[in-house]
Amino acid sequence: MNQSQPTTRVAARFQKLRENGAKGLVVYLTAGDPSLDATGELLLALDRAGVDVIELGVPFSDPLADGPVIQRASERALRAGTTLRKILERFPGWRQSVQTPIILFSYFNPILQLGLEKFAATAAQAGVDGALVVDLTVEEAESYVRAMRERNLDTIFLASPTSTDARLEHAAQLSTGFLYLISRTGVTGERTEISSSGRLLTERARRLTSLPLAMGFGISTAAQVREVQSHADAAVVGSAVVHAIEERFSHEGPAAIEKFVRELKSGTEDQSA
């Protein structure tokens, strides 16, 4: 089923990693934090730093799955007037200079407000590679998945340590590009230790799907990236990067964020598939 779709940028990137015996780094940032102009600069910085996939967050007024760092970023972006529509309007310009695959990371409400068909058509035309809708359940995803597949946009779904095998398999069946595994229950945020439940979840997912597996929630250092990649195909870092933007971007610029992400990327070295 997943193989029936034409190859996407995301699938091609993971295929290249696999062929090279390498592991990937997925990085999240909130669009519009601190401004949409700054977002363009930050996307270029992540591209230069060698990130494998970028998750571009759509700010939302009630981000229930996000911890305080990303909540603050959403609040700043919303105050700056950032909307899904404005992100899609600016995206073609960003796409011209950024080669890294970019997926939108959104809650479902902004997409519904725009309309599923219009969202998929506009995103595809703008050069978006896919989306992860954090609060969309697999049971309610049929119309969304159909609209996205018609435009060859990747649909990435989440699975957590509390997911049953049936639900894990359903999420994998609806996913293209990769499957996003949550290392632990709770909200996003930096942690000093990685939960052991993540490794068990990866082992379960391997038995149910051949999709690349990316693991996130609580990963904030190169050592933690390396630890996660000992069992997953990619590590996802969000809050740590958003925190760096919050503390450093205004006075050090995108170069500081690029340097920080390069340090995270060093965690992907010396890995075998």
Residues that are catalytic: 55, 66
Q: Whose CA is closest to 165, among 192, 118, 129, 203?
A: 203
Burial class (CB in 10 A: 0-12, 13-18, 19+), 31: buried
CB 106 within 8 A of CB 84: yes
Report how far residue 179's alpha carbon sits from residue 198's, in angstroms, rounded to the nearest whole number.
Answer: 13
Burial class (CB in 10 A: 0-12, 13-18, 19+), 212: buried
Main-chain phi, psi angles of 262, to 5 degrees: -60, -40
Beta strands in 96-200 (DSSP E): 102-106, 130-133, 154-156, 158-159, 179-182
Burial per residue of 38-61, b for 16 or more beta-carbon CB atoms within 10 angstroms, e otherwise: bbbbbbbbbbebebbbbbbbbbbe
